[in-house]
Amino acid sequence: MKRVYFDHNATTPVHPEVLDALLPYLKDAWGNPSSIHWAGRDPRKAIDGAREQVAQFLGCSPVEIVFTSSGSESDNFAIKGTALAKRSRGNHIITTQVEHPAVLNTCRYLEKEGFRVTYLGVDQSGTIDLEELEEAITDETILMTMMYANNETGVIFPVEEIGRIARQRGITFHTDAVQAAGKLPLDVTKLNCDLLSISGHKIYAPKGVGALYIRRGVRVVPLIHGGHHERNRRAGTENVAGIVGLGKACEIAMRDMDTEVAHIRSLRDRLEKGLMEKIPHVRLNGHPEKRIPNTTNLGFDFVEGESLLLNLDMLGIAASSGSACTSGSLEPSHVLVAMGIPPELSHGSVRFSLGRFNTEEDVDYLLENMPPIVERMRSMSPLWNEAEKKGMFMALEEK
Ligand SMILES: *Cc1c(COP(=O)(O)O)cnc(C)c1O
């Protein structure tokens, strides 16, 4: 069966060059990077090299990079670590309603621990209001955490301006850049951020590795205590192969971003335009321009998203509703709810997220096979049939 993968915001395949770079650290150079003897030397050098690559990718110094196990850990580390470090200064945190669960649930946890959290809403296009943000700031505010690009809709937040506001007020600013990495320029100086999270498996490196940028001088209390790894900021013998893979993936992202983004954007636009032309009553969820180039989130009226995904899966097409972390539950997406999209419509929403190995044939396969599925599903929906009748009635009236 043909297999088409349109779920790159959930995870990406490991890039062949990344695999080549990391395999030696599973096979031959298996030593402990903390060892002072011969076995530790190559792994140590490899980690140092990867740290350079990640630092270049983010426009920072290598000492400002801490390797973690995932984007989720980076988010937890940034948020809990700041909350603990600044507890004596205040107890207020500002975030948004549309963050990834790794941020939202960390904030909810901190609420139970006595912190106060403001969850800013978004408008219909999925973006926040900077005036509202400024009004939410109090003397107690110690941390702002807002994502760079949304995993469900691809909508981009004005991180530069948010960072400027945070800096003026002396508030630590963290951004989850897991979905922005490789798709948008990432320069921590320009973005005015103090902390920034990335994840390996979203940028063609393996699962189980991530990084957190910690601006020099910003104090973050460690989550994992033990040995002196990562300059005492994150204990545990390093995931050498994963780290090497992440470094390589950053190098490739820097090298190829311009051409890849152009390629992926044109495929995404072809897919989006094609579906909208071939299927009536389709709506775009999220801002049409202010979004990352690989993502489209489409609402199909009178269609149940989960069964649509199952039907697509039977044809070998992988897409998703909401984030991988919440799919499987029948709760409507918290992101679409925050955008004011009624639950019955957000239930009929599907996210297509494209990647570097997608082709025009992939898109055409979808454009050929999806419209009949939607038509069949709608023809079985009593609501759709009723609406159609009404539509016909109105058309008659107009005559
Ligand atoms: C995937 C994702 C994460 C979590 O990263 P993991 O490495 O899977 O833990 C965090 N934030 C966003 C925006 C994501 O898309």
C-alpha 203 – ligand 1 centre gap (Å): 11
Which residue's alpha carbon is at the smallest distance from atom 6 of ligand 1? 71
Nearest to 275 by CA among 197, 368, 167, 367: 367
Nearest to 243 by CA among 8, 55, 35: 55
Note the pLDDT of residue 330.
65
Q: Rounded CA gap, 118 and 155, in Å?
A: 20
Residue ranges in the chain whose pLDDT is less than 70 = 322-330, 391-399
Note the pLDDT of residue 140.
98
Note the pLDDT of residue 238.
98
Report which ligand 1 atom has the smallest distance to the Cα of 72: 9
**Six-digit token pair at 85?**
């470090």
Note the pLDDT of residue 399.
35
Note the pLDDT of residue 328.
53
**Six-digit token pair at 245?**
């893979």
Sheet containing strand 141-145, edge to edge, reads: 65-68, 210-214, 195-199, 172-176, 141-145, 92-96, 116-120
Q: Rounded CA gap, 340 and 381, in Å?
A: 24
- Main-chain phi, psi angles of 384, to 5 degrees: -65, -45
Residue with tokens 């909208």: 276
C-alpha distances out from residue 291 to 11, 62, 288, 302, 387, Å: 18, 29, 7, 26, 32
- With a 6 Å cutoff on the Cβ, whether 100 touches ligand 1 is yes
- Catalytic positions are 325
Side chain identity, residue 105: N
Q: Rounded CA gap, 334 and 332, in Å?
A: 6
Q: Rounded CA gap, 226 and 372, in Å?
A: 57
Total-model pTM = 0.95
**Six-digit token pair at 271?**
């897919």
Mapping DSSP to helix (H, G, I), strand (E, B) and coil, where does residue 210 land? strand
- With a 6 Å cutoff on the Cβ, whether 214 touches ligand 1 is no
- With a 6 Å cutoff on the Cβ, whether 199 touches ligand 1 is yes
Q: Are 368 and 272 in contact (CB under 8 A)?
A: no
Which residue's alpha carbon is at the smallest distance from atom 3 of ligand 1? 71
- With a 6 Å cutoff on the Cβ, whether 72 touches ligand 1 is yes
C-alpha 235 – ligand 1 centre gap (Å): 21
Note the pLDDT of residue 397.
42
Q: What is the CA radius of gyration of the chain?
A: 23
Beta strands, E only, 17-132: 65-68, 92-96, 116-120
Report which ligand 1 atom has the smallest distance to the Cα of 75: 10
Report which ligand 1 atom has the smallest distance to the Cα of 102: 10
Q: For 176-201, what is each residue's pLDDT tens digit?
A: 999 999 999 999 999 999 999 999 99
Nearest to 147 by CA among 4, 276, 9: 9
Note the pLDDT of residue 392.
58
Report which ligand 1 atom has the smallest distance to the Cα of 147: 13
Q: Rounded CA gap, 230 and 238, in Å?
A: 9
Q: Are 234 and 221 in contact (CB under 8 A)?
A: no
- With a 6 Å cutoff on the Cβ, whether 335 touches ligand 1 is no
Note the pLDDT of residue 389.
72
Q: For 292-350, what is each residue's pLDDT tens digit?
A: 999 999 999 999 999 999 999 999 999 998 644 445 556 789 999 999 998 878 889 99
C-alpha 357 – ligand 1 centre gap (Å): 21
Q: Rounded CA gap, 67 and 209, in Å?
A: 7
Domains annotated for the chain, with CATH where assigned, are 4-9+257-398 (3.90.1150.10), 16-253 (3.40.640.10)
Q: Rounded CA gap, 62 and 116, in Å?
A: 33
